[in-house]
Chain A
Amino acid sequence: MTSSSLSAANGKPDIVTLERVTKRFPGIVANNSVDLSIRAGEVHVLLGENGAGKSTLIGMLSGLQQPSEGRILVDGVPTAIASPRHALALGIGTVFQHMMLVPTLTVAENLLVGGPWWQRPKAEELEARVAEISRTLGIGVNLHAKVSELSLGEQQQVEILRALLRNSRLLILDESTSMLTPKGIDDLGALMRRLVEQGLAIVFITHKLKEAAGFGDRISVLKLGRKVGEITPERLRALSEDEIIAQIVELMFGKKESDPEEQARVARAFSAETTPLLQVRDLAVPATATAPGLASISFDIRPGELLGIAGIDGNGQKQLAEALAGQLETSGGSVRLAGENLDGLGVGSRREKGLRYLTDDRLGEGTVGTFPVSINFFLKQIGTSPFWRKGVEQRQEIDRRAGELVREYDVRTPSIKTPIGRLSGGNIQKILIARELAEGVKAVIFNKPTYGLDLANTLATRQRVRDVAASGMAVLLISTDLEELLSMCDRIAVMSGGALVGTVENSGDARTKVGRLMIGLAA
């Protein structure tokens, strides 16, 4: 299904070519032997879920990171793109996902930033050039407006303008539509079209299939760091939009031939009469400037059941977990655990009642990095007996129990006095799991429990999650890894835009159904 694109076929030369580019981070392979050819006059869409390796790829093209293996060719010449400045000099301009303009300065001032410091900024020259570019592209930018007064779409135009002012031949747009209105998205599409007609190359990164099909001349699909397929311009022209989308879904969520992590899942039957252990009704959280809200979230989890939450990252999964754990204030709805109403209770009381939350932010909020392993085991139990008596720390008791947990959960640490921040992610995760499974547990929310772990730790963690469910607890498993959910859950609910858009029994064609729900199509 992949057509090799190393040869510069049909006349259009490659501006940039990636040859078997691999990028490794400690414990993670972000890009695995990716081939890519970026040609003048084409909008090349990079499509993939979060964690597929899109951002790392862009990082390497824009000079922020260097490949671990493989090489990047610019105009056919192997080039090490050493820095963002170097990338700009080579004609590679990047518009990042998050705006990189100074909000308190005017548009003109933002565009003049980066000139030689010993020269007076050439404001007249800038105005002339902007006028020319604006005329040919049909974009109107008020140079004297403050950036903070512009809409996000206008800010994006300024960023694109900035890249063009620096004579970019290749323009990389990283998730540029994620913050735009539908109108803004259409305008951006039209602008991209005009830019490639002038001979520019554009790399357009998105996880929205409609945009890929609508704007792209060539589509490459990334999955877990690998390029799993490419749709050439000829194919794109030949197919209808629906056919393109169907093909992309197949590429993104299709089954791998041989999956080492694949485990036969035994379907379990839950009788409908079983009283649910965790009941959530119409949970709502208002949206904030930076995070989506939640709207009428309802679900039940029966004892021993594993409910998965699928969805593209940032659709309210974290808010759901935090609202359930009591960290986030809700504006409506109710949560019942074993028939007991938890509404209005804080984090500590909910935990005491048996509702546990394994955070996905292990270092940011899960642990205190400078504190020893032993204390981190009991971070959520400070002041409770037998580790504290009348408020006084019982160090022997803490150390004894911590030693037991280290053995029981196979934590590899030099000592229980080692600061937890020095351990690897997998070992930190074992400590956090031990903490959440401390006695009294009834229901556990696992938020991306295997994120960033190596294979051995991933498998161990999954087994731990299964064991929790098997022992009769209610388990909510939030994950962006569809394979993980399919291999573990009894049911999978799909989250999008802060709401549950559908729930699928995990059997038979669940993969396709969930995949379609995730990208905004009915199951």
Chain B
Amino acid sequence: MSVETTQTSSTALEPAIPETGKGDLLRRLVMTLGPILAALVIAGCILLAVGVDPLAYYGFVIERGLLSPLGVQQTLTRMAPLLFLAAGLIVAFRAGMWNLGGDGQFLLGAVSAAAAGPFLVQFLPTWLALVCAFLLATAVAMLWSLLPALLRAYQGVNEIITTLMMTFLGTSLANVLVKLAFLDPSTTVPQTRTLPVEDRLPRLFDTTISSGLLLGLVAIIAVHLVMTRTAFGLKLQVVGANPRAAVHSGLGVPTLTIAVFAISAGLAGLAGAVDILGVQGNVRADWNPAYGMAVIPMVFLARMNGFAAIGFVFLLSILSIGGESAARRLGVPHHFTLVLVSIVLITLAIAEYIDHHFIKTRRV
């Protein structure tokens, strides 16, 4: 985590104070695009090594993820949960807390929504049932983060460990709930009851894009503005950048810590709910898309900037939708998407290091 920690601290306030200047912008563009190209080449070599034509793979990913009308609609729909997760991670990471329990919080939120949605639509207006399902998912995910939050706030226990442990427990608990408590008796497949398509989140215009996309965009932009423009956001950033300065300045660090975990986990829970109520309709047993882990690199690439994160989430979405199709067609495992993302992250880190080193030697 150390590389990433330094990134946080050195760029914590960057969006608030953009350094203008064309040369700087150009440099930054090169520093971002160069490593991505390098990563594509390296990943291409790996594909070659396993006997797949990299150009065919990339072409297929772009074709199915971005260019085909159905593909781009799927891509935009997929963005909704990813945006909520990214928003939650931005809050936590900017406050210097490494909530790596996103997947557990996501799944528990998803299961809560899947349990509440079909049940509530029976006797509530659809919109109210959906709102209640969203709220329940948020509350359950928040509750799940309470233990790591309290341990971190009052005992200083490292939250990386605790949230990761809680994510294993949360994943299993979600499974248990699906198989035992909320099992749909009318099917043989172990899954929860399915929310009828007409009761799900409305689709946008005449497309298949779920309106969850709009909710996700609102969430991440709101988080970005809160973090950069409000006193609350600044307090969280002080805690993240220098906890001792936070104590010295009289901030209530334990309370803020618990608030950060609650917001971060709540957004992860919302991500689960938006995926269920907008797209999936139910939770199947052993379903774990592991979006949380995939979004973490995107948030780092975006340097915890909400607007940049939207772009990177879009990219991840293309890769993930296109990658799934390519997996079926070319026989490349769909986890290769994650391989590609991690290679990008590594090349970016190396570029950052070289750039930093270069600046230092130039100054001397």
In the complex, how many angstroms separate the beta carbon of A355 from the nearest chain B beta carbon?
11
Contact between chains at A346 and B250 (CB < 8 Å)? yes
The answer to the question of B245 belonging to the interface, with a C-beta cut-off of 8 Å to chain A, is yes
Question: A379-B238, A380-B250, A382-B238 are contacts. A368–B245 as well, Cβ < 8 Å?
Answer: yes
The answer to the question of A366 belonging to the interface, with a C-beta cut-off of 8 Å to chain B, is yes
Contact between chains at A382 and B235 (CB < 8 Å)? yes
In the complex, how many angstroms separate the beta carbon of B162 from the nearest chain A beta carbon?
25
CB interface residues, B 1-49, toward A, < 8 Å: 9-10, 12-13, 17
A393–B232 CA distance with the chains assembled, in angstroms: 10
In the complex, how many angstroms separate the beta carbon of A227 from the nearest chain B beta carbon?
34
The answer to the question of B55 belonging to the interface, with a C-beta cut-off of 8 Å to chain A, is no
- Contact segment of A250-258, A270-278, A369-377: A369-377
Contact between chains at B245 and A372 (CB < 8 Å)? no
The answer to the question of A65 belonging to the interface, with a C-beta cut-off of 8 Å to chain B, is no
List chain B residues, Cβ under 8 A from A391: 230-232
Contact between chains at A370 and B10 (CB < 8 Å)? yes
In the complex, how many angstroms separate the beta carbon of B252 from the nearest chain A beta carbon?
8
Of B12, B231, B237, B249, the contact of A380 (CB 8 Å cutoff): B249
A393–B10 CA distance with the chains assembled, in angstroms: 21
CB interface residues, A 442-478, toward B, < 8 Å: none
In the complex, how many angstroms separate the beta carbon of B58 from the nearest chain A beta carbon?
38
List chain B residues, Cβ under 8 A from A350: 250
Of A364, A372, A375, A393, the contact of B230 (CB 8 Å cutoff): A393
Question: A347-B247, A347-B250 are contacts. A370–B231 as well, Cβ < 8 Å?
Answer: no
Of A351, A366, A392, the contact of B229 (CB 8 Å cutoff): A392
The answer to the question of B116 belonging to the interface, with a C-beta cut-off of 8 Å to chain A, is no
A91–B89 CA distance with the chains assembled, in angstroms: 55
A380–B241 CA distance with the chains assembled, in angstroms: 15
The answer to the question of A388 belonging to the interface, with a C-beta cut-off of 8 Å to chain B, is yes
The answer to the question of B244 belonging to the interface, with a C-beta cut-off of 8 Å to chain A, is yes
Contact with A along B220-251 (1 / 0, CB 8 A): 00000000011110110110011011011111
Contact between chains at B249 and A347 (CB < 8 Å)? yes
List chain B residues, Cβ under 8 A from A242: none
Best-surrounded residue of A365, A380, A417 (most CB of chain B within 10 A): A365
CB nearest to B240 among chain A residues: A368
Question: A351-B250, A372-B17 are contacts. A392–B241 as well, Cβ < 8 Å?
Answer: no
The answer to the question of A326 belonging to the interface, with a C-beta cut-off of 8 Å to chain B, is yes
A393–B235 CA distance with the chains assembled, in angstroms: 12
A347–B246 CA distance with the chains assembled, in angstroms: 10
In the complex, how many angstroms separate the beta carbon of A456 from the nearest chain B beta carbon?
25
List chain A residues, Cβ under 8 A from B231: 382-383, 388, 391-393
List chain A residues, Cβ under 8 A from B250: 326, 346-351, 380
Contact between chains at B13 and A364 (CB < 8 Å)? no
The answer to the question of A367 belonging to the interface, with a C-beta cut-off of 8 Å to chain B, is yes
Question: A368-B242, A379-B238, A382-B235 are contacts. A327–B247 as well, Cβ < 8 Å?
Answer: yes
Question: A351-B250, A365-B247, A366-B245 are contacts. A375–B10 as well, Cβ < 8 Å?
Answer: no
Contact between chains at B249 and A367 (CB < 8 Å)? no
List chain B residues, Cβ under 8 A from A370: 9-10, 12-13, 241
In the complex, how many angstroms separate the beta carbon of A16 from the nearest chain B beta carbon?
33
CB nearest to A352 among chain B residues: B250
A361–B247 CA distance with the chains assembled, in angstroms: 13
CB interface residues, A 316-333, toward B, < 8 Å: 326-327
Contact between chains at B249 and A392 (CB < 8 Å)? no
A350–B248 CA distance with the chains assembled, in angstroms: 12
Question: A368-B242, A371-B12, A379-B238 are contacts. A392–B248 as well, Cβ < 8 Å?
Answer: no
A367–B248 CA distance with the chains assembled, in angstroms: 9
List chain B residues, Cβ under 8 A from A326: 250
Question: A346-B250, A380-B249, A393-B230 are contacts. A368–B10 as well, Cβ < 8 Å?
Answer: no
Of A364, A365, A382, the contact of B234 (CB 8 Å cutoff): A382
Contact between chains at A372 and B13 (CB < 8 Å)? yes
A371–B9 CA distance with the chains assembled, in angstroms: 9
In the complex, how many angstroms separate the beta carbon of B16 from the nearest chain A beta carbon?
8
Chain A: how many interface residues by the 8 Å CB criterion? 30
Contact with A along B232-275 (1 / 0, CB 8 A): 10110110011011011111100000000000000000000000
List chain B residues, Cβ under 8 A from A379: 238, 245, 249
In the complex, how many angstroms separate the beta carbon of B359 from the nearest chain A beta carbon?
13
In the complex, how many angstroms separate the beta carbon of B7 from the nearest chain A beta carbon?
11
Contact with B along A190-219 (1 / 0, CB 8 A): 000000000000000000000000000000
A211–B247 CA distance with the chains assembled, in angstroms: 39
CB nearest to A417 among chain B residues: B17
In the complex, how many angstroms separate the beta carbon of B26 from the nearest chain A beta carbon?
21
Contact between chains at B13 and A371 (CB < 8 Å)? yes
A348–B230 CA distance with the chains assembled, in angstroms: 19
List chain A residues, Cβ under 8 A from B241: 368-371
List chain B residues, Cβ under 8 A from A347: 247-250
Question: A372-B17, A383-B235 are contacts. A366–B248 as well, Cβ < 8 Å?
Answer: yes
In the complex, how many angstroms separate the beta carbon of B24 from the nearest chain A beta carbon?
14
In the complex, how many angstroms separate the beta carbon of A380 from the nearest chain B beta carbon?
5
The answer to the question of A503 belonging to the interface, with a C-beta cut-off of 8 Å to chain B, is no
A197–B244 CA distance with the chains assembled, in angstroms: 50
Contact with A along B305-338 (1 / 0, CB 8 A): 0000000000000000000000000000000000
The answer to the question of A359 belonging to the interface, with a C-beta cut-off of 8 Å to chain B, is yes
Contact between chains at A365 and B17 (CB < 8 Å)? no
Contact between chains at A365 and B245 (CB < 8 Å)? yes
CB interface residues, A 334-363, toward B, < 8 Å: 346-351, 357, 359, 361
CB nearest to B225 among chain A residues: A392
In the complex, how many angstroms separate the beta carbon of B226 from the nearest chain A beta carbon?
9
CB nearest to A388 among chain B residues: B231
A370–B96 CA distance with the chains assembled, in angstroms: 14
A359–B250 CA distance with the chains assembled, in angstroms: 13
A359–B13 CA distance with the chains assembled, in angstroms: 24
CB nearest to A383 among chain B residues: B231
CB nearest to B231 among chain A residues: A383
List chain A residues, Cβ under 8 A from B13: 370-372, 375
List chain B residues, Cβ under 8 A from A364: 244
In the complex, how many angstroms separate the beta carbon of B39 from the nearest chain A beta carbon?
28
A107–B245 CA distance with the chains assembled, in angstroms: 40
CB interface residues, A 387-432, toward B, < 8 Å: 388, 391-393, 417
Question: A365-B242, A392-B229 are contacts. A375–B247 as well, Cβ < 8 Å?
Answer: no
List chain B residues, Cβ under 8 A from A383: 231-232, 235
A361–B251 CA distance with the chains assembled, in angstroms: 18
Contact between chains at B229 and A393 (CB < 8 Å)? yes
A382–B252 CA distance with the chains assembled, in angstroms: 12
In the complex, how many angstroms separate the beta carbon of B255 from the nearest chain A beta carbon?
11
List chain A residues, Cβ under 8 A from B245: 365-368, 379
Contact between chains at B230 and A365 (CB < 8 Å)? no
A391–B230 CA distance with the chains assembled, in angstroms: 5
List chain B residues, Cβ under 8 A from A349: 250
A393–B16 CA distance with the chains assembled, in angstroms: 11
List chain A residues, Cβ under 8 A from B10: 370
Question: A375-B13, A392-B229 are contacts. A368–B248 as well, Cβ < 8 Å?
Answer: no
In the complex, how many angstroms separate the beta carbon of A490 from the nearest chain B beta carbon?
28
CB nearest to B10 among chain A residues: A370
Contact between chains at B244 and A365 (CB < 8 Å)? yes
List chain B residues, Cβ under 8 A from A393: 229-231, 234
In the complex, how many angstroms separate the beta carbon of A437 from the nearest chain B beta carbon?
16
A347–B250 CA distance with the chains assembled, in angstroms: 5
CB-defined A-B contacts under 8 Å, sample of 8: A347-B247, A347-B250, A365-B245, A367-B245, A368-B242, A371-B237, A388-B231, A393-B231
| Known contacts A369-B241, A370-B9, A391-B230, then 13 further A-B pairs from the complex at CB < 8 Å, ordered by chain A residue | A326-B250, A350-B250, A364-B244, A367-B242, A370-B13, A370-B241, A371-B12, A375-B234, A379-B238, A382-B231, A392-B229, A392-B230, A393-B234
7 nearest A-B residue pairs (beta carbon): A348-B250, A347-B250, A383-B231, A365-B244, A365-B248, A388-B231, A368-B242
Binding site for A on B (CB under 8 A): 9-10, 12-13, 17, 229-232, 234-235, 237-238, 241-242, 244-245, 247-252
